[in-house]
Structures are given as C-alpha cells and as structure tokens.
C-alpha cells in the first residue's frame, strides 16, 4: 500500500507540474520588456556616439547584451511606427498612416493581433506605460488591445494647448492650430488620471512611467509578463524632472535623455532585485529619428542623412540595444539589418505562440539577434513607405543596398534647426530618378552608385514591383491588393 501511495503521489506531482506548464506558469517562459522612446536620434546613446550627455545604464545594458547598429522602424513617424512594432505588419497594410490626430475616426483595428494579445493567450500579464498614439477614442485604446494595465497619454505631448511659454513664439498659423487642441488627458487604465496635463505633469512623465514599470515588475514577478514602456520623451515639448534639469552640457535635450537612461536603470535594477535577470529579454530603441527642425531641442542622427519624417537612414535607423543574459551574447556589436516588424514573429516563436491567421510582414530573426554563426536575414527586401502610402525606398535584407525612389522629402538642407523648442521650416527637395546607395561604404547616403550596378538595380526594381502589387503606391497610383481596413468609429 505504501508503494502504491508513493506511485500515486508521484503521478499527482507530475500532473500538477503539467497543469502549471499548460497554464503559463512556467518560469522558463521569458519576460519581455520593450522600451520605446519618442524621436530619439541614432547618435543619442553613449555607445552610438552621444555628445554632451551620458547614458551609463544603456551603456551597461549594451556591455551585458548586444548593440544592433542596423535596426529600423517601418516608418519614420509616430503612429505608423508603433503600429508596426505591435502587430508585425507594415503599418500601411493595416490602414495606419503617419501620426493620428486628436479625436481621430480611425485607429488600430479589432481584427489585428497585438503583441499584448498574442502574449496574453500564452498566459502573460501585460502592461503598458507611456504614449499610445494608435487612436484616442475608447475602442482604440490599450486595454481594448490586449493590455491589462495602462498609464500614460493617448497622443504625443505636442497635441496640447499648454506648451510651456513657447506657443507665443510659434509661427502664427502653427500657434493657432495648437491653441485649438483640446486638453490632453493622462489616463490610468480607462479612467482619467488628469483631465488636463500641466507643465508640472509634463516634467514628471518619465519618472511616473519608470515608477509604474517597477511596480508592475514587482507585482508580477511570479508570472511571465510583457512590459511595454513607450516614453513620451524626447518628443517636443521637452519635460524633465528637477533631479535632472540643468545637468548636461547638451542642455534640456541632454537632461531629458539622461532621465530616460535613469529610467532604464530603474527597470534593470528591478529585474535584478526580483531575481528576473536571467529570464527577461529587454529591448531598447526609438520610434523614429530626431526631429531636426527643432535644433537644440531635437536629437542627432550622425553620421546618417536627415531625420524624422524621411526614409533616409536618419529617419528609420534607430539605436537598438538588447539584453538577455545567457541568450544574447554580452558585448556583441552587430550590423545585421532587421526591423520592428520582425519582433512579433520572433517573440511568438520563442514563447510557442501561434501567429495570426491574417498576413503579417515580419519574420523570425532570432538567429540574428542571438548571434548564431552564419545567421542570415530571411527577408528578400524591406519596403519603406511614408505619407499616404508612398513607396519611397527599398533595401536589401542584408542592409547593404538601398534604392531611393523618386519622391519629395523634407530637409534643412544644411541650415541650423530651431532653438529652445521653436522649430524652423523645412525646405522640400525632389529625387528626380531612382538613386542607389551602398550603405556599407556610404552610410551617410552621399553618392548615387546606380550607374555602376545595373543588375542590382533590376533586382531592386523587381522588389519595388512586388511591393506595389501587394501594398500599392500612392506615388504611381497603384492600389495594391493586400490592404486591410483600420478600425473606424461607427458613430
């Protein structure tokens, strides 16, 4: 009888362990942390060449993890970039273009699957703290798209009539628009935390997001979790707490970046303190390049060309650092190309999740991220759209060759940017014919080498035709067949 009881007890323990695994309680399932800043330039991290300020926590994260110097967002602007990160799709595939406005009638569609929804189905707890910007009406907000917790803003901080003492210095037409914006609320879940953001609130945002993130980690340390920290900074108008104000040679912009770096340190320390270091994949990057027209209140993309709002490298190539001890080799410095759309399927593969039934554009790039010998990007090419479905550039998946298609782009044309939060106007230049750039030998996109590579031009033109057939092209008036509708308000 004792032997029988022992056998039964053993089977009971095995069954209980099996149930825990099925219910998502396995500690082997990694926590996922994505830190996504707003308008931070390629050169605005120490390891990427920052000047006038320091980022010791990000530098430490890089030493313990890996730097990715050829990591891109799908579009060089707020809403579109975030849509790509969260769904694994080119944003124009799912009907998200540019930066969505106040009280927009469109937003992230119910039929799309976000990272949060995919991970919830695998037993994850999900939390988001920061800027959403995928629709500011209730049906489009984070808790309706897979997040258990949310604290932050529905929009960018510039959709706000309370700019600190700067609105009177804007050009009259810009000032008139901004004065007409409704109050910008801060949300806690679906409840309003502040009906009207104040200047003092603006200065506290980065600290509040860090505190909420740490609290979320501590509360959920016994469960697998997905933490998405989407900082409102360093998007203008800049806000920083007193503990960092006036600390850097770079001025307010440098102060803001140092506070973001501090917040990264708070998250890393919380993971270590709670014994989660070895089982957490932390990803740090930005949503697009720097807003160069703001000058000393904008960042730097050196040595890249242009910045936010363009499909030159300065608009889409972002500083990227990833850390997962034992899984991502420490001290690695990679120039392999991949994109935010690839994170969704890569994470899905790691946690054993099924991909959505509808088409997504990203592919599993874990061999590249984990630095496996001989790893190659599985894509044929990457497509870069902007404006209303304009196909503006195509890049080979190894990241070497980039074809810039005829289009108009914004530029400062070598002129200085604005000062103290007041922008200067861009001029607009036209690319008259397709231009080819060798990004390995010419990262600044200075010399068109199309005449020397006719075979490569034909290959890339075939990639362009594939993109136009699938997603269309507003520049050549091609409709495309692969679009899905965004979410739309019915009232």
Residue 15 pLDDT more than 50? no
Strand ranges for 136-195 from DSSP E: 149-153, 186-188, 191-194
Question: How do residues 338-369 score in pLDDT, each as one tens digit?
Answer: 999 999 999 999 999 999 999 999 999 999 99
Write down the H helix ranges in 171-306: 172-179, 199-219, 252-273
Report the alpha-carbon distance of residue 387 to residue 389 in Å, rounded.
6
Residue 78 appears among annotated catalytic residues: yes
Q: How far is the C-alpha of 439 from the C-alpha of 320, rounded, in Å?
A: 18
Mean pLDDT, residues 143-170 taken together:
89
pLDDT of residue 10: 42
**How much of the chain exceeds pLDDT 70, in percent?**
93
Question: pLDDT per residue over 21-57, tens digit each?
Answer: 333 333 479 999 999 999 999 999 999 999 999 999 9
Between 115-119, 168-172, 370-374, the lowest mean confidence (pLDDT) is in 168-172
Give pTM, 2 decimals: 0.93
Q: Would you place residue 7 in the very low, low, confident or very high pLDDT band (cuts 50, 70, 90)?
A: very low
CA–CA separation, 430 vs 118, rounded Å? Answer: 42
Select the more confidently predicted residue: 341 or 167. 341
pLDDT at 328 over 80: yes
Angstrom distance (rounded) from CA 162 to CA 176: 12
Mean pLDDT of all residues in 104-122 = 97
Per-residue pLDDT at 1 exceeds 50: no
The verdict on whether 133 is a catalytic residue reads: yes
pLDDT of 222 reads: 96
Residue 18 has pLDDT above 50, yes or no: no
User: Which pLDDT score, from 0 to 100, does residue 21 have?
Assistant: 39
pLDDT beyond 70 at 17? no
Q: Average pLDDT for residues 328-339, to the nearest whole number? A: 97
Q: Is 19 a residue whose pLDDT tops 70?
A: no
Q: Can you give the pLDDT at residue 166?
A: 65
The span from the CA of 375 to the CA of 458, in Å, is 26
Whether the CB-CB separation of 61 and 321 falls below 8 Å is answered with yes
Q: Categorize the per-residue pLDDT at 167 as very low, low, confident or very high, splitting at 50, 70 and 90.
A: low
* pLDDT score of 369: 98
Say whether 131 sits in a helix, a strand or coil. Answer: strand
Dihedral pair phi/psi, residue 30, rounded to 5° = -75, 145
Residue that is written with structure tokens 């032997």 in the block: 3
Check pLDDT > 50 for residue 129.
Answer: yes
Check whether 223 has a pLDDT greater than 90. Answer: yes
The pLDDT assigned to 466 comes to 98
Q: Do residues 232 and 38 make contact, with C-beta atoms less than 8 angstroms apart?
A: yes
Note the pLDDT tens digit of each residue in 169-212. Answer: 777 887 888 888 999 999 999 999 999 999 999 999 999 999 99
Quote the pLDDT of residue 180.
Answer: 87
Per-residue pLDDT band for 13 (boundaries 50, 70, 90) equals very low
Mean of pLDDT values over 459-467: 98
In the block, residue with structure tokens 């029988």: 4
| Predicted local distance difference test score (pLDDT) of residue 257 | 98
Q: Is residue 453 pLDDT above 80, yes or no?
A: yes
Q: Is the pLDDT of residue 422 over 60?
A: yes
**Annotated catalytic residue within 72, 89, 97, 133:** 133
Q: Which has more confidence, 109 or 166?
A: 109
Largest CA distance in the chain: 90
Q: What is the pLDDT of residues 380-400, one digit of tens each?
A: 999 999 999 999 999 999 999
Average pLDDT over all residues of the chain = 93
| Residue whose pair of structure tokens reads 């309003």 in the numeric block | 192
Which residue is catalytic, options 72, 78, 89, 163?
Answer: 78
Confidence of residue 163 (pLDDT cuts 50, 70, 90): confident
Residue 482 has pLDDT above 60, yes or no: yes
For 232, list phi and psi in degrees, rounded to 5.
-75, -20
Q: Is the pLDDT of residue 8 over 50?
A: no
Evaluate if residue 99 carries a pLDDT over 60: yes
Three-state secondary structure call for residue 38: coil
């Amino acid at each position: 009888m004792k032997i029988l009881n022992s056998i039964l007890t053993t089977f009971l323990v095995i069954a209980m362990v099996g149930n825990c695994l099925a219910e998502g309680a396995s500690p082997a399932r990694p926590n996922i942390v994505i830190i996504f800043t707003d308008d931070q330039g390629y050169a605005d991290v120490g390891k990427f060449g920052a000047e006038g300020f320091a980022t010791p926590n990000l530098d430490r994260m890089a030493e313990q993890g890996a730097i990715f110097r050829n990591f891109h967002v799908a579009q060089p602007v707020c809403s579109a970039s975030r849509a790509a990160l969260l769904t694994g799709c080119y944003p124009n595939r799912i009907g998200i273009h540019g930066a969505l406005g106040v009280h927009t009638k469109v937003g992230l569609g119910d039929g799309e699957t976000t990272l949060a929804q995919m991970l919830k189905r695998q037993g994850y707890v999900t939390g988001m703290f920061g800027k959403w910007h995928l629709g500011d009406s209730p049906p489009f907000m984070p808790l309706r798209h897979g997040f258990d917790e949310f604290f932050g803003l529905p929009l960018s901080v510039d959709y706000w009539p309370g700019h600190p003492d700067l609105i009177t210095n804007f050009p009259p037409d810009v000032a008139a628009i901004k004065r007409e914006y409704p109050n910008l609320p801060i949300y806690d879940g679906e409840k309003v935390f502040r009906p009207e953001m104040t200047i003092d609130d603006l200065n506290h945002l980065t600290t509040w997001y860090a505190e909420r993130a740490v609290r979320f980690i501590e509360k959920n340390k016994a469960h697998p979790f997905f933490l998405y920290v989407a900082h409102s900074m360093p998007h203008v108008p800049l806000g920083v707490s007193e503990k960092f104000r006036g600390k850097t040679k770079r001025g307010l912009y440098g102060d803001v970046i140092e506070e973001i770096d501090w917040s990264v340190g708070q998250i890393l320390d919380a993971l270590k303190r709670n014994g989660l270091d070895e089982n957490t994949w932390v990803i740090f990057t930005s949503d697009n390049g720097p807003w160069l027209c703001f000058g000393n209140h904008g960042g730097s993309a050196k040595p890249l060309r242009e910045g936010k709002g363009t499909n030159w490298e300065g608009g889409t190539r972002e500083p990227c650092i990833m850390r997962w001890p034992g899984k991502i080799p420490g001290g690695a410095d990679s120039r392999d190309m991949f994109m935010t759309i690839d994170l969704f399927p890569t994470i899905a593969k790691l946690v054993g999740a099924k991909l959505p039934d509808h088409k997504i554009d990203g592919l599993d790039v874990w061999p590249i991220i984990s630095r496996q010998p001989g790893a190659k990007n599985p894509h044929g090419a990457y497509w870069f759209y902007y404006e209303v479905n304009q196909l503006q550039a195509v890049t080979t998946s190894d990241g070497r060759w980039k074809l810039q298609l005829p289009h108009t782009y914004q530029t400062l044309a070598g002129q200085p940017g604005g000062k103290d939060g007041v922008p200067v106007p861009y001029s607009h230049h036209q690319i008259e014919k397709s231009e080819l750039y060798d990004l390995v030998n010419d990262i600044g996109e200075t010399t068109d080498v199309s005449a020397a590579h006719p075979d490569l031009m034909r290959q890339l033109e075939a990639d362009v035709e594939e993109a136009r057939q699938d997603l269309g092209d507003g520049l050549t008036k091609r409709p495309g067949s692969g679009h899905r509708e965004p979410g739309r308000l019915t009232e």
